[in-house]
A and B are shown apart, each in its own frame.
Chain A
Amino acid sequence: MSLRITFATAGRILRQLRHDRRTVALLLIVPALLLALLYFMYDGSGATFDRIALIMLGIFPFVIMFLVTSIAMLRERTSGTLERLLTTPLGKLDLLFGYGLAFGLAAALQGAVATGAAYWLLGLQTTGNAGLVVLIAVVNAVLGVALGLFCSAFARTEFQAVQFLPVVVVPQILLCGLFVPREQMVGWLEGISNALPLTYAVEALAQVGLSAAATTTMWRDLAVVAGATVVALVLAAATLRRRTP
């Protein structure tokens, strides 16, 4: 693992992104547009909008970065660039952290735009600080990147890669407490929910909604999400083989 190579890799990924202006525009604008949609859906019901928009600020970067990363990594595999990279001094972790860093930065920008739009244009109100919302959004995005890197090892085509979204991401959204409060779930569902990282991200966001200062629960939740990210990255490194059949 070398910092120089990790940064060079992150720079390369960001340069690729920069050449793809449409993707950049979609990354930056779509979450804000979806929030506007929510705003009009819950027209006149400020409290409901506040609750759901806050959670969405965490869910959007997670979903989008998962999708973007799994496709980007799959492209590395199918184009032969991955095989070539693995014959150079680049370490597996250089590549994985490079992706995490690059898309984490993209997510920070995306989170800032979406959060700014939510607070200033759509009148989102939270008891806690908007900066914490961006922080949680970025950690969530990096979790999405890590899971995307891991899942891309099991996909051979873009079709397969996209199918991992309903498998890996959708259950986490369904069980995170957004639709049904977690304590009202059947015991075994709540158990599953406890094991899914997005649950903790959503709980952390809810804490920001309720308390003026950052709570211990929020920091603990954030640590759980960060821990899950590290585990996913380690798993991704384990499935990234220099030698293939």
Chain B
Amino acid sequence: MDNAIEVRDLIVERGKRTVLHGISCDIPTGRVTGLLGPSGSGKTTLIRAVVGVQIVRSGTVTVLGRPAGSAPLRRELGYVTQAPSVYADLSVRENARYFAALRGLGAAEADRAITDVGLAGARDQLVGNLSGGQRSRASLACALIGDPKLLVLDEPTVGQDPVLRADLWTRFHELAAAGTTLLISSHVMDEAGRCDRLLLVREGRVIGDDTPAAIRARSGTDDLEEAFLRLIRQLDEVTA
């Protein structure tokens, strides 16, 4: 299978507002795809649709060949929400062990995931006492347990120090090399260059879907932030 995720004509309304206006895109298997766009562009809504917790108006989301949210997918998916969704009143280890237990795995897998995100030294601390960056790494650890085929990470590197951020990106690419598909949202453009593929979203529409190199070439600049701006201007000129 070439595409881990296939989205077709996805329309999502939240309240009276249309958040996604008929998005179609493919996320390739075994690659790191960056979902980029400003805050409020619909990134989180698209992610929620992929993990199958979003009510959609119309369109289809196919994940690993099945409709998003279907029961067998729940064993194949690791999901990190934007706010660190771990229990603040449990230690890092107790959190990881619980999420391991949900997948039928033991303490060894839980400890390995904690080491992977660099939290081995803080594993017995309560998550509530950790810094913001550590807390989101604790949340990430819980998603890594059991080597899911698909990792969906909503802004996983916010608040991390630069060295750790680089470590995490190295880890993401190791996972991709081993066949894991990663969909990672970010609103920081300097992370875009680290992705194999980019999906640029603005106001609920896909305005770019290509490799970073191709996007740079098309917009005629090496700076991805500038490239994003140019794509928006091109689009505005077309619609104007």
A184 at the interface (CB under 8 A from B): no
By the criterion of a CB under 8 Å from any partner CB, how many residues of chain B are at the interface? Answer: 35
Q: Are B69 and A243 in contact, CB atoms less than 8 angstroms apart?
A: yes
Q: Are B90 and A8 in contact, CB atoms less than 8 angstroms apart?
A: no
Closest to A82 in B: B85
B162 at the interface (CB under 8 A from A): no
- Which A residues are within 8 Å of any B CB, using their own CB? 4-5, 8-9, 11-12, 15-16, 19-20, 79-81, 83-90, 242-245
A5 to B75, CA, bound (A): 13
23 contacts between A and B (CB under 8 A): A4-B101, A4-B104, A15-B90, A16-B87, A16-B89, A16-B90, A19-B89, A80-B83, A83-B53, A84-B80, A84-B81, A84-B85, A87-B51, A87-B79, A89-B71, A89-B102, A89-B103, A90-B102, A244-B53, A244-B54, A245-B14, A245-B15, A245-B55
Identify which of A20, A79, A90, A243 contacts B83 (C-beta below 8 A): A79
Chain A nearest CB: distance from B117 CB in Å? Answer: 16
B77 at the interface (CB under 8 A from A): yes
B171 at the interface (CB under 8 A from A): no
CB under 8 Å from chain A, chain B span 39-96 = 48, 51-55, 69, 71, 74-75, 77, 79-91, 94
A88 to B86, CA, bound (A): 14
- With a CB–CB cut-off of 8 A, which chain B residues contact A16? 87, 89-90
Identify which of B48, B87, B104 contacts A12 (C-beta below 8 A): B87
Closest to A91 in B: B71
Q: Please indicate which of the listed interface residues B15, B53, B54, B75 has the most CB atoms of chain A within 10 Å of its own CB.
A: B53
Closest to B77 in A: A87
A242 to B74, CA, bound (A): 12
Q: Are B52 and A15 in contact, CB atoms less than 8 angstroms apart?
A: no
Q: Are B99 and A88 in contact, CB atoms less than 8 angstroms apart?
A: yes
B130 at the interface (CB under 8 A from A): no
A9 to B94, CA, bound (A): 11
- With a CB–CB cut-off of 8 A, which chain B residues contact A9? 98
